[in-house]
Amino acid sequence: MTERRTEPPQASESSLKGQRGHAVPSVGTLFLGCIADDFTGASDLANNLVRSGMRVVQTIGVPSGPLGVAVDAVVVALKSRTNPPAEAVAQSLEALAWLQAQGAQQIYFKYCSTFDSTEHGNIGPVTEALMDALGTDFTIATPAFPDNNRTVFKGYLFAGDTLLSESGMQNHPLTPMTDANLVRVLQAQTRRVVGLIDYAVVASGTDAVRERIAQLKTAGVGMAIVDAITNADLMRLGPALKGMPLVTAGSGVALGLGQNFGIAPSVEASQLPQASGLKAVVSGSCSVATNRQVRAFIAAGLPALAIDPLRMASGVDVAAEVLAWAGPLLQNGPVLVYSSDESAAVKAVQQQLGAAAAGALVERTLAAIACGLVGLGVRQLVVAGGETAGACVQALGIMQMQIGPQIAPGVPWCFALLPLSASAGAAQGLHLTLKSGNFGADDFFTQAFTVLA
Ligand code: ADP
Protein backbone atom coordinates (compact mmCIF):
# COMPACT_ATOMS: atom_id res chain seq x y z
CA MET A 1 0.00 0.00 0.00
CA THR A 2 1.44 3.39 -0.91
CA GLU A 3 1.39 6.34 1.44
CA ARG A 4 -1.88 8.34 1.27
CA ARG A 5 -2.15 12.06 1.83
CA THR A 6 -4.66 13.38 4.35
CA GLU A 7 -4.55 17.15 3.91
CA PRO A 8 -6.54 18.83 1.11
CA PRO A 9 -4.29 20.71 -1.30
CA GLN A 10 -4.44 24.52 -1.41
CA ALA A 11 -5.23 26.60 -4.49
CA SER A 12 -1.73 27.85 -4.93
CA GLU A 13 1.25 27.07 -7.06
CA SER A 14 2.14 24.30 -4.61
CA SER A 15 -1.06 22.52 -5.68
CA LEU A 16 0.74 21.20 -8.69
CA LYS A 17 4.25 21.08 -7.38
CA GLY A 18 5.29 18.55 -4.78
CA GLN A 19 1.89 18.89 -3.09
CA ARG A 20 0.35 16.64 -0.47
CA GLY A 21 3.50 16.62 1.60
CA HIS A 22 5.11 14.08 -0.71
CA ALA A 23 8.71 14.52 -1.56
CA VAL A 24 9.46 15.03 -5.23
CA PRO A 25 9.61 11.45 -6.47
CA SER A 26 12.73 9.71 -7.47
CA VAL A 27 12.80 7.80 -10.73
CA GLY A 28 11.17 4.42 -10.24
CA THR A 29 8.15 5.41 -8.12
CA LEU A 30 5.75 5.89 -11.01
CA PHE A 31 3.60 2.80 -11.32
CA LEU A 32 1.72 3.60 -14.50
CA GLY A 33 2.73 5.75 -17.42
CA CYS A 34 -0.24 6.41 -19.69
CA ILE A 35 -0.53 7.81 -23.19
CA ALA A 36 -3.99 9.02 -24.19
CA ASP A 37 -4.92 9.85 -27.78
CA ASP A 38 -7.15 12.78 -26.86
CA PHE A 39 -7.71 15.14 -23.97
CA THR A 40 -11.12 14.06 -22.73
CA GLY A 41 -9.98 10.46 -23.00
CA ALA A 42 -6.99 11.30 -20.87
CA SER A 43 -9.14 12.67 -18.07
CA ASP A 44 -11.54 9.73 -18.46
CA LEU A 45 -8.62 7.38 -17.82
CA ALA A 46 -7.25 9.56 -15.03
CA ASN A 47 -10.70 9.50 -13.42
CA ASN A 48 -10.77 5.71 -13.27
CA LEU A 49 -7.22 5.58 -11.95
CA VAL A 50 -8.23 8.01 -9.20
CA ARG A 51 -11.25 5.80 -8.45
CA SER A 52 -8.89 2.87 -8.05
CA GLY A 53 -7.05 4.93 -5.41
CA MET A 54 -4.15 6.25 -7.45
CA ARG A 55 -2.95 9.84 -7.24
CA VAL A 56 -2.90 11.08 -10.81
CA VAL A 57 -1.70 14.03 -12.84
CA GLN A 58 -2.62 14.59 -16.48
CA THR A 59 -0.11 16.47 -18.59
CA ILE A 60 -1.06 18.35 -21.73
CA GLY A 61 1.30 16.98 -24.30
CA VAL A 62 4.73 15.64 -23.42
CA PRO A 63 6.37 17.73 -20.68
CA SER A 64 9.75 19.22 -21.43
CA GLY A 65 11.23 18.26 -18.05
CA PRO A 66 10.65 15.99 -15.06
CA LEU A 67 7.17 15.94 -13.53
CA GLY A 68 8.15 17.28 -10.09
CA VAL A 69 5.04 15.87 -8.37
CA ALA A 70 4.69 12.64 -6.42
CA VAL A 71 1.96 10.59 -8.05
CA ASP A 72 1.19 6.95 -8.76
CA ALA A 73 0.23 7.47 -12.40
CA VAL A 74 0.72 10.10 -15.07
CA VAL A 75 -1.52 10.42 -18.10
CA VAL A 76 0.12 12.21 -21.01
CA ALA A 77 -2.70 13.71 -23.06
CA LEU A 78 -1.97 13.83 -26.76
CA LYS A 79 -4.23 15.10 -29.52
CA SER A 80 -3.30 12.35 -31.92
CA ARG A 81 -6.52 10.44 -32.55
CA THR A 82 -7.22 11.90 -35.96
CA ASN A 83 -3.67 12.78 -37.01
CA PRO A 84 -1.99 10.91 -39.86
CA PRO A 85 -0.67 7.60 -38.42
CA ALA A 86 3.02 8.58 -38.71
CA GLU A 87 2.39 11.71 -36.62
CA ALA A 88 0.35 9.81 -34.03
CA VAL A 89 3.14 7.23 -33.78
CA ALA A 90 5.85 9.87 -33.41
CA GLN A 91 3.92 11.70 -30.67
CA SER A 92 3.20 8.45 -28.83
CA LEU A 93 6.84 7.35 -28.94
CA GLU A 94 7.90 10.74 -27.60
CA ALA A 95 5.43 10.30 -24.73
CA LEU A 96 6.74 6.78 -24.12
CA ALA A 97 10.34 7.99 -23.93
CA TRP A 98 9.36 10.65 -21.38
CA LEU A 99 7.36 8.19 -19.28
CA GLN A 100 10.25 5.74 -19.31
CA ALA A 101 12.55 8.53 -18.15
CA GLN A 102 10.16 9.07 -15.20
CA GLY A 103 10.55 5.37 -14.31
CA ALA A 104 7.06 4.21 -15.36
CA GLN A 105 6.73 0.53 -14.51
CA GLN A 106 3.92 -0.21 -16.97
CA ILE A 107 2.67 1.65 -20.05
CA TYR A 108 -1.05 2.11 -20.81
CA PHE A 109 -2.17 3.34 -24.24
CA LYS A 110 -5.66 4.80 -23.87
CA TYR A 111 -8.11 5.26 -26.73
CA CYS A 112 -11.80 5.98 -26.89
CA SER A 113 -14.45 3.69 -25.42
CA THR A 114 -15.99 3.71 -28.89
CA PHE A 115 -12.63 2.67 -30.40
CA ASP A 116 -12.60 5.85 -32.51
CA SER A 117 -10.20 5.51 -35.37
CA THR A 118 -9.88 6.84 -38.87
CA GLU A 119 -9.74 4.63 -41.94
CA HIS A 120 -5.95 4.46 -41.56
CA GLY A 121 -5.61 3.87 -37.82
CA ASN A 122 -4.40 5.06 -35.36
CA ILE A 123 -4.96 2.43 -32.69
CA GLY A 124 -3.16 -0.32 -34.60
CA PRO A 125 -0.14 1.68 -35.76
CA VAL A 126 0.43 3.30 -32.36
CA THR A 127 0.06 0.00 -30.50
CA GLU A 128 2.50 -1.67 -32.84
CA ALA A 129 5.06 1.12 -32.49
CA LEU A 130 4.81 1.04 -28.69
CA MET A 131 5.20 -2.76 -28.70
CA ASP A 132 8.31 -2.47 -30.87
CA ALA A 133 9.79 0.24 -28.66
CA LEU A 134 9.08 -1.78 -25.51
CA GLY A 135 10.35 -4.99 -27.07
CA THR A 136 7.15 -6.86 -26.27
CA ASP A 137 5.30 -9.31 -28.50
CA PHE A 138 1.86 -9.27 -26.89
CA THR A 139 -0.72 -6.84 -25.59
CA ILE A 140 -4.44 -6.64 -25.05
CA ALA A 141 -6.98 -4.23 -26.49
CA THR A 142 -10.40 -3.50 -25.08
CA PRO A 143 -12.45 -0.31 -24.97
CA ALA A 144 -14.92 -1.92 -22.52
CA PHE A 145 -16.23 0.59 -19.98
CA PRO A 146 -19.38 -0.90 -18.44
CA ASP A 147 -20.04 2.17 -16.23
CA ASN A 148 -20.66 4.03 -19.48
CA ASN A 149 -22.46 1.15 -21.16
CA ARG A 150 -19.56 0.25 -23.41
CA THR A 151 -19.34 -3.54 -23.40
CA VAL A 152 -17.48 -5.99 -25.59
CA PHE A 153 -18.95 -9.43 -26.30
CA LYS A 154 -17.46 -11.93 -28.77
CA GLY A 155 -15.29 -9.08 -29.95
CA TYR A 156 -18.27 -6.87 -30.82
CA LEU A 157 -18.49 -3.45 -29.19
CA PHE A 158 -21.86 -2.32 -27.89
CA ALA A 159 -22.80 1.23 -26.93
CA GLY A 160 -25.73 0.65 -24.61
CA ASP A 161 -28.06 -1.86 -26.25
CA THR A 162 -26.87 -1.28 -29.80
CA LEU A 163 -23.86 -2.26 -31.80
CA LEU A 164 -21.29 0.52 -32.14
CA SER A 165 -22.09 0.81 -35.83
CA GLU A 166 -25.74 1.58 -35.08
CA SER A 167 -25.14 3.82 -32.07
CA GLY A 168 -24.76 7.16 -33.84
CA MET A 169 -20.98 6.70 -34.03
CA GLN A 170 -21.38 5.79 -37.70
CA ASN A 171 -22.07 9.53 -38.20
CA HIS A 172 -19.13 10.92 -36.19
CA PRO A 173 -17.72 14.02 -37.97
CA LEU A 174 -14.11 12.78 -37.87
CA THR A 175 -14.05 9.07 -36.99
CA PRO A 176 -17.19 7.35 -38.28
CA MET A 177 -17.33 3.79 -36.89
CA THR A 178 -19.22 1.53 -39.26
CA ASP A 179 -18.03 -1.91 -38.04
CA ALA A 180 -18.61 -3.12 -34.46
CA ASN A 181 -16.33 -6.15 -34.79
CA LEU A 182 -13.15 -4.97 -33.09
CA VAL A 183 -11.04 -7.94 -34.14
CA ARG A 184 -11.76 -6.95 -37.74
CA VAL A 185 -11.31 -3.21 -37.10
CA LEU A 186 -7.96 -3.67 -35.35
CA GLN A 187 -6.72 -6.32 -37.80
CA ALA A 188 -7.21 -3.83 -40.63
CA GLN A 189 -4.84 -1.46 -38.81
CA THR A 190 -1.91 -3.76 -37.98
CA ARG A 191 0.45 -6.36 -39.42
CA ARG A 192 0.37 -8.33 -36.15
CA VAL A 193 -2.21 -11.07 -35.78
CA VAL A 194 -5.24 -9.99 -33.76
CA GLY A 195 -7.03 -12.55 -31.58
CA LEU A 196 -9.82 -12.64 -29.01
CA ILE A 197 -10.05 -13.41 -25.31
CA ASP A 198 -13.75 -14.07 -25.20
CA TYR A 199 -16.30 -13.76 -22.47
CA ALA A 200 -16.24 -17.43 -21.44
CA VAL A 201 -12.54 -17.06 -20.58
CA VAL A 202 -12.90 -13.73 -18.77
CA ALA A 203 -15.85 -15.05 -16.76
CA SER A 204 -13.76 -18.06 -15.70
CA GLY A 205 -11.31 -15.81 -13.87
CA THR A 206 -7.80 -14.45 -13.84
CA ASP A 207 -6.03 -17.78 -14.26
CA ALA A 208 -8.13 -18.63 -17.31
CA VAL A 209 -7.19 -15.26 -18.84
CA ARG A 210 -3.51 -15.92 -18.12
CA GLU A 211 -3.76 -19.35 -19.77
CA ARG A 212 -5.52 -17.91 -22.80
CA ILE A 213 -2.84 -15.24 -23.16
CA ALA A 214 -0.16 -17.94 -23.13
CA GLN A 215 -2.07 -19.93 -25.80
CA LEU A 216 -2.50 -16.87 -28.00
CA LYS A 217 1.19 -15.97 -27.72
CA THR A 218 2.15 -19.51 -28.74
CA ALA A 219 -0.20 -19.21 -31.72
CA GLY A 220 1.58 -16.05 -32.83
CA VAL A 221 -1.15 -13.61 -31.85
CA GLY A 222 0.25 -10.18 -31.01
CA MET A 223 -2.86 -8.31 -29.86
CA ALA A 224 -6.02 -9.69 -28.31
CA ILE A 225 -9.38 -7.97 -28.03
CA VAL A 226 -10.80 -8.78 -24.58
CA ASP A 227 -14.51 -9.19 -23.88
CA ALA A 228 -15.84 -7.46 -20.75
CA ILE A 229 -19.42 -6.74 -19.77
CA THR A 230 -19.21 -5.75 -16.11
CA ASN A 231 -16.73 -4.12 -13.77
CA ALA A 232 -16.27 -7.56 -12.20
CA ASP A 233 -14.87 -8.71 -15.55
CA LEU A 234 -12.40 -5.83 -15.48
CA MET A 235 -11.39 -6.65 -11.91
CA ARG A 236 -10.74 -10.26 -12.97
CA LEU A 237 -8.77 -9.07 -15.97
CA GLY A 238 -6.59 -6.66 -13.95
CA PRO A 239 -4.34 -9.19 -12.18
CA ALA A 240 -3.75 -11.04 -15.45
CA LEU A 241 -2.16 -7.84 -16.79
CA LYS A 242 0.35 -7.54 -13.95
CA GLY A 243 3.82 -7.15 -15.43
CA MET A 244 2.56 -6.82 -19.02
CA PRO A 245 4.82 -4.06 -20.40
CA LEU A 246 2.02 -2.49 -22.47
CA VAL A 247 -1.72 -2.44 -21.90
CA THR A 248 -3.99 -0.83 -24.50
CA ALA A 249 -7.58 -0.07 -23.61
CA GLY A 250 -10.31 2.47 -23.03
CA SER A 251 -10.46 3.72 -19.47
CA GLY A 252 -12.33 0.74 -17.96
CA VAL A 253 -9.33 -1.57 -17.58
CA ALA A 254 -7.74 1.02 -15.27
CA LEU A 255 -10.24 0.13 -12.54
CA GLY A 256 -8.55 -3.24 -12.12
CA LEU A 257 -4.91 -2.15 -12.18
CA GLY A 258 -4.49 -0.42 -8.80
CA GLN A 259 -4.63 -3.81 -7.07
CA ASN A 260 -1.49 -4.88 -8.96
CA PHE A 261 0.44 -2.13 -7.20
CA GLY A 262 -1.06 -2.67 -3.73
CA ILE A 263 -3.32 0.40 -4.02
CA ALA A 264 -6.92 0.48 -2.77
CA PRO A 265 -9.63 3.11 -3.42
CA SER A 266 -9.43 6.20 -1.16
CA VAL A 267 -11.35 9.50 -0.92
CA GLU A 268 -8.13 11.47 -0.61
CA ALA A 269 -7.01 10.55 -4.11
CA SER A 270 -9.60 12.94 -5.62
CA GLN A 271 -9.28 16.08 -3.48
CA LEU A 272 -8.97 19.42 -5.29
CA PRO A 273 -8.62 23.03 -4.10
CA GLN A 274 -11.84 24.94 -3.34
CA ALA A 275 -13.59 26.22 -6.48
CA SER A 276 -14.64 29.84 -7.04
CA GLY A 277 -15.26 32.26 -9.91
CA LEU A 278 -17.70 32.44 -12.83
CA LYS A 279 -19.05 29.42 -14.67
CA ALA A 280 -19.33 28.55 -18.36
CA VAL A 281 -19.80 25.64 -20.75
CA VAL A 282 -18.21 25.46 -24.21
CA SER A 283 -19.40 22.67 -26.46
CA GLY A 284 -18.07 21.58 -29.85
CA SER A 285 -19.22 17.99 -29.59
CA CYS A 286 -21.94 16.89 -32.00
CA SER A 287 -22.40 13.52 -30.33
CA VAL A 288 -25.86 12.28 -29.46
CA ALA A 289 -25.44 12.69 -25.69
CA THR A 290 -24.01 16.21 -26.00
CA ASN A 291 -26.87 17.33 -28.21
CA ARG A 292 -29.25 16.12 -25.49
CA GLN A 293 -27.24 18.00 -22.84
CA VAL A 294 -27.42 21.20 -24.88
CA ARG A 295 -31.19 20.83 -25.20
CA ALA A 296 -31.53 20.16 -21.45
CA PHE A 297 -29.51 23.29 -20.58
CA ILE A 298 -31.72 25.40 -22.83
CA ALA A 299 -34.88 23.73 -21.49
CA ALA A 300 -33.75 24.64 -17.96
CA GLY A 301 -34.05 28.30 -19.03
CA LEU A 302 -30.32 29.00 -18.83
CA PRO A 303 -28.52 31.32 -21.29
CA ALA A 304 -27.19 29.51 -24.34
CA LEU A 305 -25.78 30.79 -27.63
CA ALA A 306 -25.32 28.71 -30.79
CA ILE A 307 -22.44 29.60 -33.08
CA ASP A 308 -22.57 28.98 -36.82
CA PRO A 309 -19.51 27.59 -38.67
CA LEU A 310 -20.58 29.24 -41.92
CA ARG A 311 -20.53 32.68 -40.30
CA MET A 312 -17.04 31.92 -38.95
CA ALA A 313 -15.97 30.89 -42.45
CA SER A 314 -17.32 34.12 -43.90
CA GLY A 315 -14.95 36.07 -41.67
CA VAL A 316 -17.32 37.25 -38.92
CA ASP A 317 -15.56 37.60 -35.54
CA VAL A 318 -17.88 35.13 -33.84
CA ALA A 319 -15.69 34.90 -30.72
CA ALA A 320 -16.00 38.65 -30.13
CA GLU A 321 -19.79 38.45 -30.55
CA VAL A 322 -20.00 35.61 -28.04
CA LEU A 323 -17.90 37.38 -25.43
CA ALA A 324 -19.98 40.54 -25.75
CA TRP A 325 -23.11 38.41 -25.21
CA ALA A 326 -21.66 36.43 -22.28
CA GLY A 327 -20.11 39.33 -20.35
CA PRO A 328 -23.24 40.63 -18.62
CA LEU A 329 -24.82 37.18 -18.21
CA LEU A 330 -21.97 35.44 -16.43
CA GLN A 331 -22.66 37.19 -13.14
CA ASN A 332 -26.02 35.37 -12.91
CA GLY A 333 -24.74 31.84 -13.38
CA PRO A 334 -23.40 29.50 -16.05
CA VAL A 335 -23.69 30.27 -19.76
CA LEU A 336 -23.40 27.80 -22.64
CA VAL A 337 -21.75 28.48 -26.00
CA TYR A 338 -22.15 25.68 -28.53
CA SER A 339 -21.52 24.68 -32.10
CA SER A 340 -23.06 21.27 -31.35
CA ASP A 341 -25.60 20.28 -33.97
CA GLU A 342 -27.46 17.30 -35.39
CA SER A 343 -25.66 15.13 -37.95
CA ALA A 344 -27.60 16.43 -40.98
CA ALA A 345 -26.63 20.03 -40.19
CA VAL A 346 -23.01 19.03 -39.54
CA LYS A 347 -22.86 17.19 -42.87
CA ALA A 348 -24.24 20.23 -44.69
CA VAL A 349 -21.49 22.39 -43.17
CA GLN A 350 -18.86 19.79 -43.99
CA GLN A 351 -20.00 19.68 -47.61
CA GLN A 352 -19.42 23.40 -47.92
CA LEU A 353 -16.19 23.72 -45.94
CA GLY A 354 -14.71 20.21 -45.90
CA ALA A 355 -14.88 18.06 -42.76
CA ALA A 356 -11.35 18.72 -41.52
CA ALA A 357 -11.47 22.44 -42.29
CA ALA A 358 -14.86 22.84 -40.62
CA GLY A 359 -13.61 20.94 -37.55
CA ALA A 360 -10.46 23.01 -37.28
CA LEU A 361 -12.33 26.31 -37.77
CA VAL A 362 -14.89 25.48 -35.08
CA GLU A 363 -12.18 24.25 -32.71
CA ARG A 364 -10.16 27.45 -33.18
CA THR A 365 -13.20 29.63 -32.55
CA LEU A 366 -14.32 27.72 -29.46
CA ALA A 367 -10.75 27.81 -28.11
CA ALA A 368 -10.69 31.60 -28.56
CA ILE A 369 -14.04 31.78 -26.78
CA ALA A 370 -12.77 29.63 -23.89
CA CYS A 371 -9.76 31.95 -23.50
CA GLY A 372 -12.01 34.99 -23.65
CA LEU A 373 -14.35 33.56 -21.02
CA VAL A 374 -11.42 32.92 -18.69
CA GLY A 375 -10.35 36.48 -19.35
CA LEU A 376 -13.83 37.56 -18.17
CA GLY A 377 -13.32 35.70 -14.88
CA VAL A 378 -14.60 32.21 -15.60
CA ARG A 379 -12.86 29.82 -13.22
CA GLN A 380 -15.20 26.82 -13.55
CA LEU A 381 -15.23 25.68 -17.15
CA VAL A 382 -16.92 22.69 -18.78
CA VAL A 383 -15.66 21.76 -22.26
CA ALA A 384 -17.59 19.17 -24.28
CA GLY A 385 -15.89 17.26 -27.09
CA GLY A 386 -12.54 15.52 -27.26
CA GLU A 387 -11.02 17.51 -30.11
CA THR A 388 -12.68 20.65 -28.80
CA ALA A 389 -11.21 20.12 -25.34
CA GLY A 390 -7.77 19.60 -26.84
CA ALA A 391 -8.00 22.88 -28.71
CA CYS A 392 -9.28 24.78 -25.64
CA VAL A 393 -6.72 23.43 -23.21
CA GLN A 394 -3.86 24.13 -25.61
CA ALA A 395 -5.09 27.66 -26.28
CA LEU A 396 -5.38 28.29 -22.53
CA GLY A 397 -1.72 27.30 -22.18
CA ILE A 398 -2.49 24.67 -19.55
CA MET A 399 0.41 22.26 -19.05
CA GLN A 400 -0.77 19.94 -16.31
CA MET A 401 -3.97 19.10 -14.44
CA GLN A 402 -4.60 17.50 -11.09
CA ILE A 403 -7.49 15.02 -11.22
CA GLY A 404 -10.39 15.41 -8.81
CA PRO A 405 -13.86 14.06 -8.14
CA GLN A 406 -16.01 12.33 -10.73
CA ILE A 407 -19.01 14.19 -12.18
CA ALA A 408 -20.21 11.28 -14.31
CA PRO A 409 -18.50 8.04 -15.27
CA GLY A 410 -15.43 8.97 -17.28
CA VAL A 411 -15.58 12.68 -16.47
CA PRO A 412 -13.76 14.19 -13.47
CA TRP A 413 -13.27 17.77 -12.43
CA CYS A 414 -9.66 18.80 -12.83
CA PHE A 415 -7.62 21.68 -11.48
CA ALA A 416 -4.96 23.52 -13.43
CA LEU A 417 -2.82 26.54 -12.87
CA LEU A 418 -3.39 29.17 -15.52
CA PRO A 419 -0.36 30.69 -17.20
CA LEU A 420 0.15 34.25 -16.03
CA SER A 421 -1.01 35.74 -19.34
CA ALA A 422 -4.44 34.10 -18.98
CA SER A 423 -4.97 35.10 -15.37
CA ALA A 424 -4.16 38.80 -15.50
CA GLY A 425 -0.74 38.62 -13.91
CA ALA A 426 -1.49 36.69 -10.71
CA ALA A 427 -1.13 32.92 -10.30
CA GLN A 428 -4.67 31.56 -10.45
CA GLY A 429 -6.26 28.20 -10.78
CA LEU A 430 -8.97 27.01 -13.12
CA HIS A 431 -11.34 24.16 -12.40
CA LEU A 432 -12.19 22.51 -15.66
CA THR A 433 -13.74 19.36 -16.92
CA LEU A 434 -13.25 17.84 -20.34
CA LYS A 435 -16.33 15.86 -21.32
CA SER A 436 -16.09 13.27 -24.01
CA GLY A 437 -18.95 13.61 -26.52
CA ASN A 438 -21.04 10.65 -25.52
CA PHE A 439 -20.51 10.81 -21.77
CA GLY A 440 -22.73 12.26 -19.07
CA ALA A 441 -26.45 12.37 -18.29
CA ASP A 442 -28.77 14.90 -19.93
CA ASP A 443 -28.32 17.41 -17.08
CA PHE A 444 -24.51 17.16 -17.16
CA PHE A 445 -23.98 20.86 -17.93
CA THR A 446 -25.71 21.90 -14.71
CA GLN A 447 -24.90 18.85 -12.60
CA ALA A 448 -21.17 19.47 -13.10
CA PHE A 449 -21.28 22.75 -11.14
CA THR A 450 -23.29 21.13 -8.36
CA VAL A 451 -20.58 18.50 -7.87
CA LEU A 452 -17.96 21.20 -7.56
CA ALA A 453 -20.00 23.25 -5.11
P1 ADP B 1 -16.77 14.36 -29.61
O2 ADP B 1 -16.09 14.15 -28.29
O3 ADP B 1 -18.26 14.38 -29.53
O4 ADP B 1 -16.24 13.41 -30.66
P5 ADP B 1 -15.07 16.39 -30.74
O6 ADP B 1 -14.84 17.77 -30.23
O7 ADP B 1 -13.96 15.39 -30.54
O8 ADP B 1 -16.42 15.85 -30.09
O9 ADP B 1 -15.36 16.37 -32.30
C10 ADP B 1 -16.31 17.17 -32.88
C11 ADP B 1 -15.70 17.80 -34.12
O12 ADP B 1 -16.75 18.38 -34.87
C13 ADP B 1 -14.73 18.91 -33.80
O14 ADP B 1 -13.66 18.91 -34.71
C15 ADP B 1 -15.58 20.17 -33.96
O16 ADP B 1 -14.82 21.33 -34.26
C17 ADP B 1 -16.45 19.76 -35.11
N18 ADP B 1 -17.71 20.50 -35.13
C19 ADP B 1 -18.38 20.99 -34.06
N20 ADP B 1 -19.51 21.60 -34.41
C21 ADP B 1 -19.59 21.50 -35.75
C22 ADP B 1 -20.53 21.94 -36.71
N23 ADP B 1 -21.65 22.59 -36.35
N24 ADP B 1 -20.29 21.67 -38.01
C25 ADP B 1 -19.18 21.00 -38.38
N26 ADP B 1 -18.25 20.55 -37.52
C27 ADP B 1 -18.43 20.80 -36.21
| Model pLDDT for residues 216-274, shown as the tens digit of each residue | 999 999 999 999 999 999 999 999 999 999 999 999 999 999 999 999 998 888 989 99
Q: What is the pLDDT of residues 21-51, one digit of tens each?
A: 333 334 447 999 999 998 889 999 999 999 9
Nearest protein Cα to ligand 1, atom 13: 359
Which helix (H) or strand (E) element contains residue 87?
helix 85-101
For 43, 183, 200, 262, 409, the CA distances from 405, given in Å and listed in that order, are: 11, 34, 34, 22, 10
| pLDDT category of residue 3 using cuts at 50, 70 and 90 | very low
Strand partners, 406: 412
- For ligand 1, atom 14, the nearest C-alpha belongs to 359
Answer whether residue 54 shows pLDDT above 60: yes
Residue 418 has pLDDT above 80, yes or no: yes
Average pLDDT over residues 354-381: 97
Provide CB contacts within 8 A for 328, sequence distance 6+: none
Q: Residue 103 above 50 pLDDT? A: yes
Give the pLDDT score at 119.
78
Residue 4 confidence class, pLDDT cut points 50, 70, 90: very low
Reduced to 3 DSSP states, what percent helix, strand and coil does the chain have, rounded to the nearest 5? 40, 20, 35
Q: Which of 221, 226, 224, 212 shows the shortest CA–CA distance to 154?
A: 226
Residue nearest ligand 1's atom 18 by CA: 359
State the pLDDT at residue 25. 39
Residue nearest to atom 10 of ligand 1 (CA): 285
The domains found in the chain, sorted by start residue, are 28-266 (3.40.50.10840), 272-452 (3.40.980.20)
Query: Residue 18 — very low, low, confident or very high, per pLDDT cuts 50/70/90?
Result: very low
Using pLDDT thresholds of 50, 70 and 90, give the confidence band for residue 13.
very low
pLDDT of residue 423: 53
Strand 56-60 versus strand 221-226 pairing type: unpaired
User: Quick count: other Cβ atoms within 10 Å of Cβ 225?
Assistant: 27
Mutate to test the pocket of ligand 1, among 83, 112, 287, 362 (most ligand atoms within 8 A of CB): 362
Q: Which residues, judged by CB distance below 6 Å to any ligand atom, belong to the binding site of ligand 1?
A: 173-174, 284-287, 290, 309, 339, 341, 346, 349-350, 358-359, 362-363, 385-388, 436-437
pLDDT score at 427: 64
Q: Residue with the nearest Cα to atom 3 of ligand 1? A: 437
**pLDDT bracket for residue 438 (50, 70, 90):** confident
pTM above 0.75?
Answer: yes
CA of 155 to the centre of ligand 1 (A): 28
Taking only the tens place, the pLDDT of each residue in 74-98 is: 999 998 998 999 999 999 999 999 9
